[in-house]
Structure 1
Amino acid sequence: MSRPVRTALSAAVFALVLGACQRGDDTPAADTTPAPEQPAASTVDADAPSAASSNPYCSGEAGTAPSGELVAQRIRGADGDGANGLYEGPVWNGQALYFSDFRFSDGFPSRIRRLGADGTVETAIEDSGSNGLALGSDGALVAATHDRKELSRYDLADGSRIRIVGEFEGQPFNSPNDLVIGTDGTIWFTDPDFQRSAAPGGQPKTRVYRVGTDGQVSVVDDSIANPNGIALSPDGRTLYVAGGGDQGVLRAYPLDEAGQAGAGRDLASTAVPDGMAIDCLGNIYLTEHNNRRVRVLSPEGDALATITVDANITNAAFGGPQRRTLYLTGAGAVWSIDLEVAGLPY
């Protein structure tokens, strides 16, 4: 599929992006698939953070956190070649799960795939160069892309691509990996060097960045080696970042009223952390790539549960009609497990 490419950062681009979490209805205008029924309200645990109700994806919903040892099941229709590539960056848009499918060959070629409700997979965007994905307004996908070392917006209706931001202090990023969008349109993303060789140039350090709604890029943290997964708490008051490889860490940063991050504090040690998801109780679902598992942690870092899979794992997102299905991506595989708690779609 050929697609028009635009590279200008403008107020119009951010107007498209900042609606990402403000819609809250999971029904993108660009998708003509009939919208699923809206989830019925369920009883919220007494221990649930009251501020979570400020997130449109968690309004009136929560449930009970998982506990103990759990096992996710493969979705067989999504099986691929895990020896030569990875599935990454899952996001639920209300009707389907979208994820990046990239190869280990030169340039790390990537495409965005769509897993339908019937368990079948099709290609949504060819040559996307993408890794992490997030949900933009009107059903668009916002992607961390390594092919052009930028954040891009993809329109699922026509495949068009718009650059959101592509450099810091006059130099390209290394290989944007994962991202999350706040309810005000602020974008937070990680920039390790895993796919730095995909295009020329890069940064002298691996960092966590903030992109304000004015398009200004600032550094959140440059002390984590190869920061990877990134997420926000349901109330938008805490930013979580995981990285560091074998001697990895999950770090939490308080966000002030102006959306600026304070000093981070380490919540947990972890080995080769990758992406993560957040449920409506504020619990963290942290994937550990080589350990082939998800560690479910409370907002304070306490261990709640473990979810295992049968191959290396990369990332997680909540989906399904009530967003109570946890989807996991990894080495040529997508897994799912139904839980008793709702969560955020990326």
Structure 2
Amino acid sequence: MSDLLDGAGFEAFDPRFSALFAPHIHVEKLWTGARWCEGPAWFAAGRYLVWSDIPNNRMMRWDETDGSTSVFRAPSNNSNGNTVDRQGRLVSCEHLTRRVTRTEHDGSITVLADSFAGKRLNSPNDVVVHSDGSIWFTDPSYGILTDYEGDVCEPELGGNHVYRIDPSDGSMRQVTDDFVQPNGLAFSPDESLLYIADTGATHQPGGPAHIRRFEVQQDGSLCGGEVFATCTSGFFDGFRVDRQGRIWTSAFDGVHCYDPDGTRIGIIRIPEIVANLTFGGAKRNRLFICGTTSLYAVYVFANGVTMG
């Protein structure tokens, strides 16, 4: 059963946001009992959501058909970000094993990336799949800084970057070199732009707490990288883009919504720090929101670009 929540709801700063919900729509709490929820991914064929509970070393599953929640995978190698590829397979970032994996339709697991230039990755954090089949992921150091979400280890790469896995041969390319802690990422609807969050302020006083915007080149490289938005409440973590190009991003006080022109048009207030979110449901118009300990959901008058 879901609960109606006090202190949760829509706050509009711009008429463009007011048009995205109705007065009677409310935020629901679908489940609670985690230590740090992250990485929600929607599976349309089965009508269920999978997400990570990183410190508890498990992945959870919420079923839309009956509202039940169960353990999807344990242990999960302290999985963090997840997404669904164009063939309906789960793609996951794992802190403990410092790798990106794909769960095949038969349940077997394929390792997509665990090293670059002969050195182990730090702790892959979030991941997206391009329509050409390439897989893009961020690799900050959070999973090797403490034993809470992985294992303490010395970094081998000497930096925290974003990588692209080529769909034709599985080769990897480093596509950024100036991030402190790259985190969430998402493509614009036409995939001409890639938005990437930098949460470097978590470990660097005065460090970045913003989302940057890059132009995606035909050869898979990036150019540009100007700051698109700076967080007004904590840090941006994971985020998604809707069909009109709006950014729906996590923050300490809920989900912030940005118009493609960079204007923050509103907030969905959530009574916990939000780490990530995704669009799901039959019409991709339901936001599933990972708070610190709980899974929330709310319907909006917007539709996600892709499942997962």
Partner residue of 1:188 out of 136, 150, 175: 136
Q: Report how far residue 138 of structure 1 moved.
A: 4.2
Partner residue of 1:244 out of 181, 196, 199: 199
What SS class does the counterpart of residue 237 from structure 2 fall into?
strand
Partner residue of 1:80 out of 17, 28, 33: 33
Matched, 1:102 2:54: yes
Contact 1:174/1:196 (8 A) holds in 2: yes
Once the two structures are superposed, residues 119-141 of structure 1 have per-residue CA deviations (whole angstroms, 9 ceiling, x without a partner) of 21112222122110010354320
Distance 2:278 2:258 in 1: 15
One-letter code aligned to 1:112:
M
**Alignment map for 1:126-275 (pairs within 5 Å):** 126-129=74-77, 130-155=79-104, 157-158=106-107, 160-197=108-145, 198-199=150-151, 200-202=153-155, 203-213=157-167, 214-246=169-201, 247-270=208-231, 271-275=234-238
Q: Alpha carbons of 1:137 and 1:282: their partners in 2 closer, same or farther (altered >3 Å)?
A: closer
One-letter code aligned to 2:117:
E
Contact 1:96/1:114 (8 A) holds in 2: yes
Contact 1:253/1:261 (8 A) holds in 2: yes
Contact 1:233/1:282 (8 A) holds in 2: yes
Distance 1:324 1:211 in 2: 29
In structure 1, the partner of 2:8 is none
Q: Alpha carbons of 1:71 and 1:149: their partners in 2 closer, same or farther (altered >3 Å)?
A: farther
In structure 2, the partner of 1:111 is 58
Q: Report how far residue 69 of structure 1 moved.
A: 11
TM-score normalised to structure 2 length = 0.82
Please identify which structure carries the higher helix content. 1
Contact 2:93/2:124 (8 A) holds in 1: yes
What SS class does the counterpart of residue 286 from structure 1 fall into?
strand
Q: Alpha carbons of 1:299 and 1:65: their partners in 2 closer, same or farther (altered >3 Å)?
A: farther
Distance 2:173 2:224 in 1: 14
In structure 1, the partner of 2:307 is 345
Please identify which structure carries the higher strand content. 2
TM-score normalised to structure 1 length = 0.73
One-letter code aligned to 2:300:
L
Contact 1:74/1:333 (8 A) holds in 2: no
Aligned length: 271
Q: Report how far residue 263 of structure 1 moved.
A: 2.3
What SS class does the counterpart of residue 219 from structure 2 fall into?
coil
Distance 1:222 1:331 in 2: 30
Once the two structures are superposed, residues 244-281 of structure 1 have per-residue CA deviations (whole angstroms, 9 ceiling, x without a partner) of 34441110110122332112111111241110011111
Q: Report how far residue 90 of structure 1 moved.
A: 0.5
Once the two structures are superposed, residues 207-264 of structure 1 have per-residue CA deviations (whole angstroms, 9 ceiling, x without a partner) of 1112222222222223221111111111111100011344411101101223321121
Contact 2:270/2:291 (8 A) holds in 1: no
In structure 1, the partner of 2:242 is 279
> Which 5+ residue runs of structure 1 have no aligned equivalent?
1-63, 104-108
CA RMSD of aligned residues (A): 2.2
Q: Report how far residue 314 of structure 1 moved.
A: 0.5
Q: Alpha carbons of 1:167 and 1:65: their partners in 2 closer, same or farther (altered >3 Å)?
A: farther
Q: Report how far residue 68 of structure 1 moved.
A: 11
Distance 2:293 2:42 in 1: 18
Distance 1:305 1:313 in 2: 15
One-letter code aligned to 2:307:
P
Q: Alpha carbons of 1:86 and 1:262: their partners in 2 closer, same or farther (altered >3 Å)?
A: same
Q: Alpha carbons of 1:205 and 1:324: their partners in 2 closer, same or farther (altered >3 Å)?
A: same
Once the two structures are superposed, residues 164-207 of structure 1 have per-residue CA deviations (whole angstroms, 9 ceiling, x without a partner) of 11101111111100010000011111111111153445321111
Q: Alpha carbons of 1:305 and 1:208: their partners in 2 closer, same or farther (altered >3 Å)?
A: same
Contact 1:151/1:165 (8 A) holds in 2: yes
What SS class does the counterpart of residue 210 from structure 2 fall into?
strand
Q: Alpha carbons of 1:148 and 1:281: their partners in 2 closer, same or farther (altered >3 Å)?
A: same
